[in-house]
Structure 1
Amino acid sequence: MSEQDGAPKNGARTGMRRWVKLLLAASLALNLAVIGLAAGAALRHAGQKKNWHRPPDVGAMIFRELDRDTRRQLRQEAGGPHGSYVQRRHAEAERVIAILRKDTFDAEALLAELRQQADARHDFHLKLQNAWVRKLAEMAPKERQDFADRVAERFARGAAKRP
């Protein structure tokens, strides 16, 4: 490598590799987007009832269409050993903060933690989707048509109210 590449002439590496920095920046941007979405949702539901006029989230619609026992089981699984989804999210945040507070920044440890959190969310979404598709597979064609009409109506209602 040359000095242009960021490495000294003697071949000794200093700092993080460029791909690690890029991956860390992308991961941070994604997490900030998720935090922004969560903060937006919290603000939306705080205080006065706001009139946001947008179609419902597909994941939320899928979740609401499942029976109460399936939803409870999925919530318990999402909480893992922490007991609840909220407690799990707090524990995840505490682990990230602990990594950030160390004197020596460990990018690999942070990336591993963020990957683990993303994998847990992905696993939950897959379980949710599988449960929903199983429910749909059990429906008669007419039931599925009625369900599709309800979903279309929800989206149309939200879209029609948008400014």
Structure 2
Amino acid sequence: MNDSPEKQRCPLWVKVLLGLSLALNLAVAGLAAGLALRAGGGPGGARVPGIGYALPYVVALPRESRRAVFDAVRDDPALPDRRARRADYAAMVAALTQDPFDRDAAQAILERQQNGVAGVQRAAQSKWLDVVAAMPAATRASYAARIEDVLKRGPKRSDRGPKP
């Protein structure tokens, strides 16, 4: 006679349920990490690179106009896309780990990145000027007052957590 107890197998539905639970937990963790990086200015946090200097001008615009400026930059095919920017970062990492260090290669990468930022600046400025030029004088005056308000209060703190 066989005295050893028979091993009980876990039902398939339990395995499927655990797998789905794990997938959902990983998705939520990934979403939370992505939001934290974006809010903290980490990789991908700056939706439009090179526009920080003009932030008060853009923040003071009405929502539709602000969206138009960002869309003009994002949709410009002449500007480097995310893939190109990542490729430049990868090229710089490769250049930095090379022995001996190739200063000229690193300089070329920095110049490509600088040209990309300048292109973003040109596209944003052009669209911003289009938006402002289309404003009636009274609207432009009130826009100027909103810029002053933005400059007085500084950047919004809500996306960086509470004030210390």
Which of 80, 91, 94 aligns to 1:95? It is 91
Distance 1:100 1:123, change over 3 A: same
Q: What SS is found at the alignment partner of 2:120?
A: helix
- Compute the displacement of 1:80 (Å): 4.8
Larger radius of gyration between Structure 1 and Structure 2:
2
Which of 45, 56, 61 aligns to 2:56? It is 61
Contact 2:95 2:102 in 1 (8 A): yes
The size of the alignment, in residue pairs, is 109
TM-score (norm 2): 0.53
- Compute the displacement of 1:133 (Å): 0.9
- Compute the displacement of 1:79 (Å): 9.3
Q: What SS is found at the alignment partner of 2:154?
A: helix
Distance 1:70 1:149, change over 3 A: closer
Contact 2:72 2:127 in 1 (8 A): no
Q: Distance in 1 between matches of 2:38 and 2:80?
A: 29
Deviates more, 1:97-106 or 1:60-69: 60-69
| 1:21-57 residue CA offsets vs partner (Å, 9 max, x unmatched) | xxxxxxxxxxxxxxxxxxxxx69838xxxxxxxxxx5
The alignment yields a C-alpha RMSD, in angstroms, of 3.3
Extract unaligned runs of 5+ from structure 2. Answer: 1-36, 42-51, 156-164
Q: Distance in 1 between matches of 2:56 and 2:78?
A: 20
- What residue is the counterpart of 1:108 in the other structure? 104
TM-score (norm 1): 0.53
Q: Distance in 1 between matches of 2:53 and 2:97?
A: 37
Q: What SS is found at the alignment partner of 2:138?
A: helix
Contact 2:92 2:109 in 1 (8 A): yes
1:126 counterpart = 2:125: no
| 1:42-100 residue CA offsets vs partner (Å, 9 max, x unmatched) | 69838xxxxxxxxxx55223444334344224124389564x3xx44432211101112
Moved over 6 A (4+): none
